[in-house]
Amino acid sequence: MSGCQNFSAFLTAERDSLRGAIAANRCLLSRQIGKEVGSEEAKQDFVDHLLSAFALQFRRSYCQTCPSAARCVVRYNDEQSQGH
């Protein structure tokens, strides 16, 4: 997100959301296999299977509510590359 005017706030929000998503993944995995899954195993599973989709969804969601969205060059370029 080079050029993002709120990059620090974006990273903080993404980190917090990522922690919650990994915790939810840990609970889901634990229920699926019937025993407690460790934090590292849940993190690795999340990275292997869910991270790409999470990152894209988080960015889209964050950018829609960003206070600088109206003048954001990064968002504009991203939408143009996707044909929007």
Distance, in Å, from the CA atom of 81 to the CA atom of 84, rounded to the nearest integer, reads 8
Q: Kindly indicate the confidence band of residue 81, based on its pLDDT and cuts at 50, 70 and 90.
A: low
30 vs 68, residue with greater confidence: 30
Domain count, the chain: 1
Nearest alpha carbon to residue 2 among 73, 80, 82: 73
Look up residue 26 and give its amino acid: R
Distance, in Å, from the CA atom of 75 to the CA atom of 55, rounded to the nearest integer, reads 14
Structural domain for 74, as ranges: 7-81
Is 1 inside any structural domain? no
Return the C-alpha torsion angle 74, 76, 77, 80, nearest 10: 160
pLDDT at 66 over 60: yes
The predicted pLDDT at position 84 comes to 39
Is 2 inside any structural domain? no
The predicted pLDDT at position 5 comes to 81
The predicted pLDDT at position 31 comes to 97
75: exposed, middle or buried (Cβ count in 10 Å: 0-12, 13-18, 19+): buried
- pTM exceeding the 0.95 threshold for the entire prediction: no
Is 64 inside any structural domain? yes
